[in-house]
Chains A and B, each alone.
Chain A
Amino acid sequence: MELKMPMTIATKQDVLRIQREVRDYEVTVVQNNVRKTTNESPLAVSAGLRDLVQLNQINLNEKNVPKKLITQLDEALRKVILFHMSFATEPTDEVTQKLVAWFRKEINPKILLNIGVQPTIAVGAVLRTQSKQYDFSLRKHLQNSQQDLVKVLRGE
């Protein structure tokens, strides 16, 4: 069964971070069992991990589940479709999640984003897929409108 990625896990870095968090969670659980520590309150986890386990109905406290989740995340990373998007500034999580939501809904549910910053873009974004690049920046827009701009400058 393939993992379903929540919108809070939008990038490859998010997946890698969740993997580290799951490992830490597993270590913490093991340590608690060794110490016989009874902790009634659940361990604090990130929103991404929380959404992941909720979406896939996973109980991390069960034995071997964290290992299995890490393996599944590795598997997901191998199958994921990675798009690279560059912006003029670092996008917020909200913007990233909206974009990922659109990609997973309209293009493919396995899509993850790799976010980059390129100040010369100024306005818009540049998308690089597996084999193509789509320039949605203002520069490209101006280049496409160059003939119209020249006509305006010449007063035609």
Chain B
Amino acid sequence: MNSYQIAFGIGLSAAVLVILFYSLWPRRKKTNSVSSVTTPDLAAIAERKSMEVFNDTFREELRNRGRLHFEKVINENALFLQQDLRLTTNELNTFMKDEIQKVLKDEFSKYEASITSARDIALESIKKTQEVIDQQRAQLEKQMNEQAAEEKQRLIDRFEKNMADILNHYILDAIGGEIDLTDQLEYIFQSLEENKKAILEDVKNGA
């Protein structure tokens, strides 16, 4: 409860108290001439008696009572105000807490969603990049394997194609210095015998 509310409560209590005093304060009644003629003493007596009843002591008593009542009202109002203030403060705290939590929750949700989205995008990008790298690697591996196979086959083909020359070259290197035609005569005569018919035919045609 703020100071304005407290001041308002105090002012309200004071107004009530003034009205109470005003209503209870003794007033001089207006009498007509007939009655004053007829009952002049009664009015005086009544006034005197009332003055006796509402003497200073009684007034002081009323004043004290009013003061006590006023203090009581003030205390009660202050208590109520304090309770209201505490309740309002609690409600306000709860409201603020809820609002802040709600706002923070929303913001965190948005932030989390944003982070999640960014993470998903990054993961997707990484995944695509990885896929592209894997594809390129697979393609490169395939090309290299094909080229290696082609090169291997080419070498094998070349070796098989030129195998006779290669073997002849190695044999020539190995036995080049130890060639003896005498040892080869048997092989040469065997070859001549195998081709004898063709040679005869050739000589016959040439002649």
User: Does A98 belong to the interface (CB within 8 Å)?
Assistant: yes
Bound form: Cα–Cα A134–B192 in Å:
9
A143 within 8 A of B: yes
Q: How far is the CA of A19 from the CA of B97 in the complex (A)?
A: 138
Q: Any chain A CB within 8 A of the CB of B7?
A: no
Give the size of the chain A interface in residues (CB under 8 angstroms).
Answer: 37
* B188, A125: Cβ atoms closer than 8 Å: yes
Which residues on the A side are within 8 Å of B200 (C-beta)?
107
**Looking at B191, B196, B200, B206, which has the most chain A CB atoms within 10 Å of its CB?**
B191
- Once A122-B176, A130-B202 are accepted as A-B contacts, the answer to whether A89 and B181 lie under 8 Å apart by CB is yes
User: Is B199 engaged at the interface, CB distance under 8 Å to the other chain?
Assistant: yes
B171: chain A residues at CB < 8 Å are 122-123, 138
A39: min CB distance to chain B, Å = 40
Segment 39-85 of A: residues with Cβ below 8 Å from B: 81
If the complex has contacts A122-B172, A122-B179, A136-B191, are A142 and B185 also in contact, measured as CB distance less than 8 A?
no
Q: Could you tell me the distance between the alpha carbons of A98 and B175 in the complex, rounded to whole angstroms?
A: 24
The answer, yes or no, to whether B207 is at the interface (CB within 8 Å) is yes
Bound form: Cα–Cα A127–B195 in Å: 11
- Shortest CB–CB separation between residue A3 and chain B, in angstroms? 18
Given contacts A91-B181, A98-B185, A120-B172, contact A139 B202 (CB under 8 A): no
Q: A130: which B residues are within 8 A, CB to CB?
A: 202-203, 206
CB distance from A17 to the nearest CB of B (A): 22
The closest CB in chain A to the CB of B187 belongs to A124
Pairwise interchain contact A134-B191, C-beta atoms closer than 8 A: yes
Q: Would you call B168 an interface residue if the criterion is a C-beta within 8 Å of the partner chain's C-beta atoms?
A: yes
Q: How far is the CB of B63 from chain A (nearest CB, A)?
A: 135
Interface segment, one of B18-26, B35-43, B159-167: B159-167
Is A92 interfacial (CB-CB < 8 Å)?
yes
A123 to B190, CA, bound (A): 14
CA distance A146 to B161 in the complex (A): 8
Identify B203's interface contact among A107, A123, A150, CB under 8 A.
A107
A142, B164: Cα distance in complex, Å: 5
Closest chain-A Cβ to B162's Cβ sits at a distance in Å of 10
Contact B206 A81 (CB under 8 A): yes
Q: Chain A residue with minimal CB distance to B195? A: A134
CB distance from A131 to the nearest CB of B (A): 6
On whether the beta carbons of B203 and A124 are closer than 8 Å, the reply is no
> Could you pull out 9 A-B pairs where Cβ atoms are within 8 angstroms?
A94-B182, A119-B172, A122-B176, A134-B198, A136-B188, A146-B163, A150-B160, A150-B163, A153-B160
Q: Which A positions have Cβ atoms within 8 angstroms of B? A: 81, 87-89, 91-92, 94-95, 98-99, 102, 106-108, 119-120, 122-125, 127, 129-132, 134, 136-140, 142-143, 146, 149-150, 153
Sorted from nearest, which 9 A-B pairs have the closest CB atoms?
A130-B206, A142-B164, A136-B191, A143-B164, A122-B172, A139-B168, A129-B202, A91-B181, A95-B181
Not counting A88-B181, A130-B202, a sample of 7 additional A-B residue pairs whose C-beta atoms are within 8 angstroms of each other reads: A107-B199, A123-B187, A125-B191, A138-B171, A143-B164, A146-B160, A146-B163
